[in-house]
Amino acid sequence: MNILILGKGYIGNYLNDRLQKVATVDFENRRWFNYTKLNVLDRRFKDKKYDYVINCSGFTGRPNVDQGEDEQELCYELNTFAPLRISSACKLHDINYIHISSGCIYNGYEKQYTEEDEPNFGLFNEESSTYSKSKHAYELGSDHGLTLRVRMPFCDQLHERSILTKLLNYDNLVNYVNSKTYIPDLLDFIELLIKGSYSTKTKSLLNFVNPKPLATDSITEIMKAQGLYNTNWEWVLFEELNTKANRSNCVLSTKKLEKEYGFKLQDEEVAIKKAVVNNMG
Ligand SMILES: NC(=O)c1ccc[n+]([C@@H]2O[C@H](COP(=O)([O-])OP(=O)(O)OC[C@H]3O[C@@H](n4cnc5c(N)ncnc54)[C@H](OP(=O)(O)O)[C@@H]3O)[C@@H](O)[C@H]2O)c1
């Protein structure tokens, strides 16, 4: 089994560590292998036959998605146009494609959003961020591959991209319930797809988040109980944060993941407790 992972970022590194154990993995970053260029991909795919390409690259923003407002062109290039070129190169060479993307394209609590629901915090919504618009635009344009909609990932180590580490470092907290993704569960799922030679050629969207999400205050309680906290924590309203872009706050449905893929994720509370203990270790 030959696998190509694109993007040596937070999720890409975890995925590479996991898949190296079960497959032959080429792990690339843009500097050494410019996967945003169609001719570069085409040459590689002619030279080597891959079973899966997993795209873990994307504009996430530093320190946060507000950067997308300052660099709109780059945000669209990395979240919409480059992934569209990658998915079409995979289609052309008949390769399974998995796109790690975001579920931050909905806002509000009137329902748990399914993959069938039209995003209400995406390309056509004025109040949405450039980041969310660019993620939705990819979904609209792609016609090949499985898109995994991840949200607010967290893991077993302190890492600047993990929501647990972010909470630890923030002084001002806002209290919302939001779907999140425990990275070890994401790795389990992708490993299972690959081991089972599951086809990811047909266009498909999948919410990949843990069920029964918690509000921020429940998470900080779990963190405090384990001695992982910030003494400056203060609750504020989102409006007080003076962000450049609005944020998506929502709960995603996990029914498709359970029914179509038979993959039941652990509840978020269980995963958070596990991760917090491991973060302390
Ligand atoms: N972390 C989160 O909070 C979060 C939440 C939901 C969804 N996601 C999605 O999951 C995917 C992977 O995210 P991640 O957390 O692993 O992200 P990451 O560590 O920030 O970035 C992943 C890779 O994307 C490329 N990249 C990111 N920002 C860039 C920039 N400004 N200029 C050039 N290249 C840039 C880099 O690729 P190279 O290594 O090739 O240079 C980087 O290694 C993304 O599509 C992201 O939107 C992340």
> What is residue 226's predicted lDDT score, i.e. its pLDDT?
94
Residue 196 is encoded by which pair of tokens? 């089972």
Per-residue pLDDT averaged across 68-86, rounded?
98
pTM: 0.98
Distance CA 226, CA 272 (A): 11
Q: How much distance in Å is there from the Cα of 273 to the middle of ligand 1?
A: 26
Q: What is the pLDDT of residue 240?
A: 95
Q: Cα dihedral angle (5, 55, 168, 271), rounded to 10 degrees?
A: -80
Closest residue CA from atom 19 of ligand 1? 9
Ligand 1 pocket test: which of 26, 29, 31, 57 has the largest number of ligand atoms within 8 Å of its C-beta? Answer: 57
Cα separation, 58 vs 182, whole angstroms? 19
**Which atom of ligand 1 is the closest one to the Cα of 135?**
47
Percent above pLDDT 90 for the chain: 99
* pLDDT score, position 155: 97
105-131 in b/e form (b: 16+ CB < 10 A) is bbbeeeebbebeeebbbbbebeebbbb
Q: Tell me: the pLDDT tens digits for 217-246?
A: 999 999 999 999 999 999 999 999 999 999
Band (257; pLDDT cuts 50, 70, 90): very high
Residue nearest to atom 14 of ligand 1 (CA): 10
| Average pLDDT taken over every residue of the chain | 97
| Residue 67 pLDDT | 96
pLDDT of 273 higher than 90: yes
Question: What pLDDT score was predicted for residue 182?
Answer: 98
Neighbours of 158 (CB within 10 A): 14
Mean pLDDT of 138-159: 97
8 CA distance to ligand 1 middle (Å): 8
Q: Is the CB of 30 under 6 A from ligand 1?
A: yes
Return d(Cα 134, Cα 79) in angstroms, integer: 6
- Encode pLDDT of 17-57 as tens digits: 999 999 999 999 999 999 999 999 999 999 999 999 999 99
pLDDT bin (cut points 50, 70, 90) of residue 281 is confident
Place of tokens 């269980």: 270
* Chain segment 183-221, per-residue pLDDT in tens: 999 999 999 999 999 999 999 999 999 999 999 999 999
pLDDT of residue 170: 96
Per-residue pLDDT tens over the stretch 96-130: 999 999 999 999 999 999 999 999 999 999 999 99
100 CB under 6 A from ligand 1? yes
